[in-house]
């Protein structure tokens, strides 16, 4: 157990629907990162939050949004889903200033399948 909890582990939904992925960071970590891994590809950075504030944004689609709550858990909302959104979505956390040099702690991911 890495200390980063992602729910649900698996999600199957239809095109056009909306889903919410949830992440609880490791205790004490203030930064949360969301990454998308499509089939056999690398991890694509979506968005980062630090202590409730958006800190950095990657190639996140307008149909996707995220937030970090006062208790530091984060949610990634995906709407108007398309077949191409099927992927593994990872959440990671890091301590203040630690992500760049000390690495992230990843959750085990949510596998989203859009049918």
Footprint of other proteins (CB under 8 A): 2, 4, 31, 33, 35, 40-45, 48, 50, 55-56, 58, 90, 92, 94, 97-109
Nearer of residues 20 and 45 to other proteins, judged by Cβ: 45
Closest approach of other proteins to the CB of residue 82, in Å: 22
Closest approach of other proteins to the CB of residue 80, in Å: 26
Residues with Cβ within 8 Å of residue 70, at least 6 apart in sequence: 52
Closest approach of other proteins to the CB of residue 108, in Å: 5
Buried b / exposed e along 87-106 (16+ C-beta atoms within 10 A): bbbbbbbbeeeebeeeebbb
Number of Cα atoms under 13 Å in the Cβ half of residue 102: 9
| CB atoms near residue 115 (< 10 Å) | 10
Nearer of residues 14 and 100 to other proteins, judged by Cβ: 100
């Amino acid at each position: 157990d890495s200390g980063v909890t992602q729910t649900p582990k698996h999600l199957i939904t239809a095109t056009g629907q909306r889903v919410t992925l949830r992440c609880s960071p490791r205790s004490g970590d203030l930064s949360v990162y969301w990454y998308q891994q499509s089939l056999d590809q690398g991890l694509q950075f979506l968005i980062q939050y630090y202590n409730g504030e958006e800190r950095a944004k990657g190639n996140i689609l307008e149909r996707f949004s995220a937030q970090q709550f006062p208790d530091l858990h984060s949610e990634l909302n995906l709407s108007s889903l398309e077949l191409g959104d099927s992927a593994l979505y990872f959440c990671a956390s890091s301590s203040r200033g630690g992500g760049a040099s000390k690495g992230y702690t990843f959750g085990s991911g949510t596998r989203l399948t859009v049918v």
